[in-house]
């Protein structure tokens, strides 16, 4: 707020800070997330059946990854969207979305995923990041997947929507 801080050296620009935090959160997730983060012997067990779940989470999911899992969407929704941010978001959506859901489940916070995905999808639509192509996105996505082609960047919106729909169907 320029009325509270007249010295620009000390001014904080929240939207810029959220952009930096969103980019760093997504980069942390892109670098760290993988399948079976907690190296469980049997991934078919529910969380309640894993006796040392808290210890495994503490050992295998670092605090920065936990923070990034919980807050990347909040920061993204308050960011200035630029090409660099879209690039790390595309990588996250295409490669690590399910890994993120796995970690949220292990943290006991899977219920937050639907809201996070809805808010990000809404923000991306409002900011017209993917423009007028939204009408043909699903067709392009299906073709790319059946031909084993890489998903174009605008497909992240579809991936977010599909993930949100799946979570809502299974977890109410």
Question: 10-residue block means of pLDDT along the chain (172 residues)?
Answer: 75 88 97 95 88 94 97 93 86 88 92 84 66 39 45 57 63 52
Question: Counting beta carbons within 10 angstroms of the beta carbon of residue 19, is it exposed (0 to 12), middle (13 to 18) or buried (19 or more)?
Answer: buried
Is pTM beyond 0.95? Reply is: no
Q: How far apart are CA 124 and CA 157, in angstroms?
A: 8
Q: How far apart are CA 46 and CA 102, in angstroms?
A: 11
pLDDT value for 132: 40
pLDDT value for 53: 93
pLDDT value for 129: 47
pLDDT value for 151: 46
């Amino acid at each position: 707020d320029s009325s509270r801080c007249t010295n620009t050296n000390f001014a904080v620009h929240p939207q810029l800070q959220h952009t930096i935090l969103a980019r760093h959160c997504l980069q942390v997730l892109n670098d760290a997330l993988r399948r079976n983060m907690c190296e469980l012997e049997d991934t078919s067990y529910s969380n309640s059946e894993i006796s040392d779940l808290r210890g495994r989470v503490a050992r295998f999911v670092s605090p920065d990854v936990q923070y990034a899992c919980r807050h990347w969407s909040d920061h993204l929704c308050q960011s200035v969207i630029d090409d660099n941010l879209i690039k790390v978001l595309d990588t996250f959506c295409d490669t690590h979305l399910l890994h993120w859901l796995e970690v949220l489940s292990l943290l006991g916070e899977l219920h937050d995923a639907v809201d996070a995905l809805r808010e990000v999808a809404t923000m991306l639509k409002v900011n017209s990041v993917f423009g007028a192509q939204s009408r043909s996105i699903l067709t392009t996505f299906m073709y790319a997947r059946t031909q084993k082609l890489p998903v174009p960047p605008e497909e992240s919106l579809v991936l977010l929507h599909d993930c949100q729909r799946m979570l809502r169907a299974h977890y109410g």
